[in-house]
Amino acid sequence: MNNAVAYQDEHTIVETIDGREVAMRPRPALMHSHIAGNIHGIFWRFLKGKRCKVFMAPDVFLDEKNNFVPDVLIVCDKDKIKANGIYGAPDLVVEVLSPSTMTRDRGVKKDVYEKTGVKEYWIVDPVSQSIEVYHLREGRLVLDHAYAVFPDWEWERMTEEQRAATRLSVKVSLYDDLIVDVREVFE
């Protein structure tokens, strides 16, 4: 495996996807970084002192042909954590969508995460303020649920029954008591 993800210049990170170098350009927008930071903070507060560890934008070496830089991830196997990155599938991966990467995040990267055994995968969309949560079931990453922050005008138009049925909290599969308020992700 490569020892690090390549940096062409201070503005470009290069990932290796199926053996090909792919530039991630331009760098993420400020909102993208803010959302990733919120998620990292929520996970960090919960995981402090626990076995699993959270990382923000580390180099991840999934296999010989795939080196990614996901926005946030959780690793529970300390043997996968090395000084220069994570080696092997994280337990949970979060990708915050950007216009330049959203097709890869929903396509080839999701497929590689599935193939390498990532147990939970989040696709976070800053524009729609939504989170798609996928769980690995029988070797496939299957959509468990999609969560969204509703604008005030839409919330007000909903019936009490619709509001009661709306899920605003994500239960992370790694811990029974790790619950993430979707509104806090997009604060």
- Cα of first residue to Cα of last residue in the chain, in angstroms, is 38
**Is there a domain that residue 1 lies in?**
no
Q: Are 92 and 103 in contact (CB under 8 A)?
A: no
Within a 10 A sphere around the Cβ of 179, how many other Cβ atoms? Answer: 12
What pLDDT is stored for residue 59 in this prediction?
93
pLDDT digits (tens, 9 = 90+) for 37-81: 999 999 999 999 999 999 999 999 999 999 999 999 999 999 999
**Is there a domain that residue 95 lies in?**
yes
In the predicted structure, residue 1 carries a pLDDT above the cut 80: no
In the predicted structure, residue 6 carries a pLDDT above the cut 50: no
What pLDDT is stored for residue 164 in this prediction?
79
Alpha-carbon span 106 to 114, nearest angstrom: 11
pTM (2 d.p.): 0.87
What pLDDT is stored for residue 76 in this prediction?
98
What pLDDT is stored for residue 40 in this prediction?
98
What pLDDT is stored for residue 7 in this prediction?
44
Q: What domain range is 121 assigned to?
A: 6-181
**Is there a domain that residue 53 lies in?**
yes
Name all contacts of 12-16 with Cβ < 8 Å and 24+ positions apart: 13/69, 15/67, 15/68, 15/69, 16/65, 16/66, 16/67
What pLDDT is stored for residue 99 in this prediction?
85
**Is there a domain that residue 24 lies in?**
yes
Mean pLDDT, the chain, integer: 89
- Supply the CATH number for residue 125's domain: 3.90.1570.10
Q: Are strands 81-82 and 72-75 parallel, antiparallel or unpaired?
A: unpaired
In the predicted structure, residue 171 carries a pLDDT above the cut 80: yes
**Is there a domain that residue 69 lies in?**
yes
**Is there a domain that residue 103 lies in?**
yes
**Is there a domain that residue 127 lies in?**
yes
Per the structure, the count of domains in the chain is 1
What pLDDT is stored for residue 163 in this prediction?
82
**Is there a domain that residue 187 lies in?**
no
Lowest-pLDDT range, 22-26, 33-37, 104-108, 135-139?
A: 22-26
Nearest one of 30, 79, 31, 78 to 185, comparing CA atoms: 31
